Structure 1
Amino acid sequence: MNPSRTTRLAKVLALTSSIALLAAGCSSGESKDAVRPASAENPVTLAVTTFGTQGLDPLYKKYEQENPGVTIEATNIDTGGNALTDWKTKQAAGAGLPDVQAVEEGWLGQVMTVSDSFTDLNEYGAGEISGDWVDWKVKQATDANGRTIGYGTDIGPMGLCFNSKLFKDAGLPSDRDKVAELFGGDDATWEDFFSVGEDYVKKSGKAFYDQSGFVWNAMVNQLDEGYYKTDGTLNIDSNTELRQRWDQLSAAASKGLSSGQTQWDWGKGQAFVDGSFAVMPCPGWMLGNVKGQVEGAGGDAKDGWDFADVFPGGPANWGGAFLTVPSTSKHPAEAAKLAQYLTSATSQATSFEEAGAFPSNLEAQKSKAVTGENELTKFFNGAPIGEILGHRAEGVKAQFKGAEDSVIQEQVFGPATIAIDQGTDGEAAWNSALSTLQELDIK
């Protein structure tokens, strides 16, 4: 490491040691061994915590092979919500955080309130490569002081997963291009979506989509301003667009369009193969989940799942993540190097092949690994997934996420969407959500 970087690193460590939140867990400085690059003579172990299906696993072993002396200890938490709980617990304790921490877009707002407790990746060249990612992804992870605390992994442009066999059995178009036209193509609206759903329920006698929670999440993320205004104030009770969409969703649930599945369970995947529902909103990362659920239930591509280049209401983004380096890391330079590697064009292309995690890296978006055939395209009956997601990403705008955005989604409207699926009146469920919001004293 050159002297100027060593000097900057010392300043960063001196600053972070004064932060009260992390006082118990910060070291007074780094040892010379930690500052020296990892090698066979100077081995370094890096702990990495991720969540869900991010497609990073194959990259760890490759990185170890290419970087003698580095050992990666990877922990993957099942869902983003559980990963948030894990991070908050360790952040509050000021101890136990990994060297590289994956952060979900939905709780990035909480992370940014303590951005000083993360390493400024500009100290390790982030500013020099910021053009590698879509610009709004970089802006999301840059705080008011210009500190960039995360490298972008995936983004979540949305299309519609649908079961071509179930559509055909109901007398609806089953070809993906015609399905896109059925929903309205580039002019698709939520009115179109629910209208097709009512027709499907009438013809098949079965539910249309898996559960209201995922549909609601997509509807909220699509708005210019969701649960928060861009100035950081709450935007729920007086948000007429939000309420209008809630009324649409609750009306659809009352007509039997929702299958009322348990989120992230689906009867251990059985609902994907037994005809319980025929369509669901799918960001790129969800495609790997669908494939895994079908195969876990003993199914395969023959079960008929496909992917259409259409989404009600236009472009929308759901999810995506960042790789950060908590200031408690004893090896920030090595951790930053690993985070940069895992979010490079080549690595993001690999993650897409593994899990459908659509790259935020611009070069990766155009790679053959993304636009060509892979295991996901084979599972989804030859759908050109990379091309579809690239098209769905056009026009996506990053919605401002407030500090408690994920809490509102899961603890306020999560129970409310379950309630309408179980028959509760939409008005009553909305009022219950507002009451919960007050009880949690979210501001």
Structure 2
Amino acid sequence: MTRNHRLAALAAGVTTLALALAGCGGGSGSAPADGSPEKVELTVTTFGTMGFDKLYAQYEAAHPGVTIKATNIDTGDNALVDWKTKQAAGSGLPDVQAVEEGWLGQVMKVSTSFTDLREQGADAIKDRWVPWKLAQGTDPTGRIIGYGTDIGPEGLCYNRDLFKAAGLPTDRKDVATLFGGDQSTWADYFTVGQQYKEKTGKAFYDQSGFVWNAMVNQQPQGYYTPDDKLNIEGNATLQGLWTQLGTAAAQGLSANQTQWDWGKGKAFVDGSFATFVCPGWMLGVVKGQVASGGGDAKTGWDFADVFPGGAANWGGSFLTVPKTSKHPKEAAALADWMTQPAQQAAAFGAAGVFPSGVAAQSDPGVTGSSELSTFFNDAPLGTILARRAEGVVAQHKGPQDSVIQSQVFGPAIKSIDKGVPADQAWNDAIGLLKQVVPATS
């Protein structure tokens, strides 16, 4: 991703504060005798498209002596494996570790292995975030272990050219109306999908996994109850949604794509599917996939202010400081700076990651135009995502939430996309659940 053209202007407004942080954060050792800044290397591990790449050099420039060594892992699932391996070994963790919302159940089990950021001034900046984001990053004993980066309100990506070919409206406001506006349901979505399929003979969405993920995230309770009891077997609501999804797949509405691959992006440019569920952070993924597949803004992707089933949040991350860090003050100062409004706005411009910070959500860097919004037919991405965030309630994520999503329902999703009846696939998933996640987990 390239840096938003406003990044330099946004950075200017925080330089003074950033320098102040360098002074008050202090070093973990003594300054060199010659008066030059203490040299500190901070390691950072992130994943996916978080929009941070261009910010590291800016921080280094404002903090003489600080060098950032950044590692970005391709997907959240792979980053989880990396974190769990190093966490179990008790070594190899970075100074700043990005944590995904879906990991929170596992992270909170070992929350005492993370620095309590209240010791580094977190209480003074608690109003920075929407309340539910702050609550997610706070452990049961009140320790703040994560500074929120983004949240994942979901809207609908659609391809204007493919909609036009099917005789469907193409203007994003008309598209929102087509799907039922604020009262949109999954039944509405699949009905339009059937119309599209009848007109074109092609699939409507890329694969069923992301749709299922959205369906689950919309519920007051997902795979777990708030007291960490499994909430799947016998759950009539989830099973009913699963039946809807399986029926749609049987009707050919799923393109049965491979998650996170899409033929190296070609499926985004060759008409393999016409819609795609898009939390804010996925907008940067779509742009990147289109580019990988040989397309550009003319490929026709747009973003509508509508989402089947109502408000939904998928993902969102936190910056944490493992206790193994040798530079906790400096690491916390970096995490603080990276989640300040200007930096959150810059990350949004680069990757579409919608800020969890209250002030950042109305920053011109979020509400205005950007390279990313230009790609999506000049859609007001920040404004749409702010609307889609209305009504979002943070869902409790249990200890094996991400494992259930990928290892239990992952295979079942693939099976319905290949034609296995929904009820059989559900029963298979329940059987796998009992093997992978014991009832006491």
Structure 2 length-normalised TM:
0.92
Partner of 1:99: 95
Matches for 1:120-269 after TM superposition, within 5 Å: 120-269=116-265
CA deviation after TM superposition for structure 1 residue 203, in Å: 0.8
Q: SS at 1:402's partner residue? A: coil
CA deviation after TM superposition for structure 1 residue 42, in Å: 1.4
CA deviation after TM superposition for structure 1 residue 72, in Å: 0.3
Say whether the 8 Å CA contact 2:153–2:313 is kept in structure 1: yes
Matches for 1:275-354 after TM superposition, within 5 Å: 275-354=271-350
Q: SS at 1:82's partner residue? A: helix
Deviates more, 1:295-304 or 1:39-48: 39-48
Q: 2:28 aligns with which of 29, 34, 44?
A: 34
Q: Give per-residue Cα distances to partners, 1:372-421, cap 9 Å, x unaligned.
A: 00011100001110100000001100000001000000000011111100
Say whether the 8 Å CA contact 2:31–2:37 is kept in structure 1: no
Partner of 1:404: 400
CA deviation after TM superposition for structure 1 residue 37, in Å: 7.6
Q: SS at 1:74's partner residue? A: strand
Say whether the 8 Å CA contact 1:37–1:334 is kept in structure 2: no
Change (3 A) 1:40 1:414: farther
CA deviation after TM superposition for structure 1 residue 297, in Å: 1.3
Q: SS at 1:34's partner residue? A: coil
Q: 1:56 aligns with which of 36, 52, 58?
A: 52
Q: SS at 2:311's partner residue? A: coil
Q: What count of residue pairs does the alignment treat as equivalent?
A: 413
Q: 1:116 aligns with which of 102, 112, 115?
A: 112
Structure 2 stretches lacking a partner, 5+ long: 1-24
Say whether the 8 Å CA contact 1:162–1:278 is kept in structure 2: yes
CA deviation after TM superposition for structure 1 residue 230, in Å: 1.0
Q: 1:393 aligns with which of 389, 393, 397?
A: 389
Partner of 1:418: 414
Q: Give per-residue Cα distances to partners, 1:196-224, cap 9 Å, x unaligned.
A: 11111011100000000000000000000
Task: Give distance in 1, aligned partners of 2:289 and 2:30.
Answer: 44
Change (3 A) 1:441 1:315: closer
CA deviation after TM superposition for structure 1 residue 427, in Å: 1.0
Structure 1 stretches lacking a partner, 5+ long: 1-8, 10-31
* Consecutive aligned runs of 4 or more in structure 1 exceeding 6 Å deviation: none
AA aligned opposite 2:392: V
Say whether the 8 Å CA contact 2:27–2:329 is kept in structure 1: no
**Percent of paired sites with the same residue:** 64
Q: Give per-residue Cα distances to partners, 1:67-102, cap 9 Å, x unaligned.
A: 001000000000000000000000000000000000
Task: Give distance in 2, aligned partners of 1:62 and 1:261.
Answer: 38
Deviates more, 1:230-239 or 1:322-331: 230-239
Task: Give distance in 2, aligned partners of 1:266 and 1:33.
Answer: 46
Say whether the 8 Å CA contact 2:400–2:437 is kept in structure 1: no
CA deviation after TM superposition for structure 1 residue 33, in Å: 6.2
CA deviation after TM superposition for structure 1 residue 238, in Å: 2.0
CA deviation after TM superposition for structure 1 residue 441, in Å: 3.4
CA deviation after TM superposition for structure 1 residue 41, in Å: 3.6
Q: Give per-residue Cα distances to partners, 1:416-442, cap 9 Å, x unaligned.
A: 111100111111111111111111133
Task: Give distance in 2, aligned partners of 1:35 and 1:367.
Answer: 37
Say whether the 8 Å CA contact 1:160–1:281 is kept in structure 2: yes
Task: Give distance in 1, aligned partners of 2:115 and 2:369.
Answer: 38
Partner of 2:10: none
Partner of 1:14: none
CA deviation after TM superposition for structure 1 residue 272, in Å: 0.5
Q: RMSD over aligned Cα, in angstroms?
A: 1.3
Deviates more, 1:262-271 or 1:32-41: 32-41
Say whether the 8 Å CA contact 1:35–1:333 is kept in structure 2: no
Partner of 1:384: 380
CA deviation after TM superposition for structure 1 residue 35, in Å: 4.6
Change (3 A) 1:435 1:36: farther
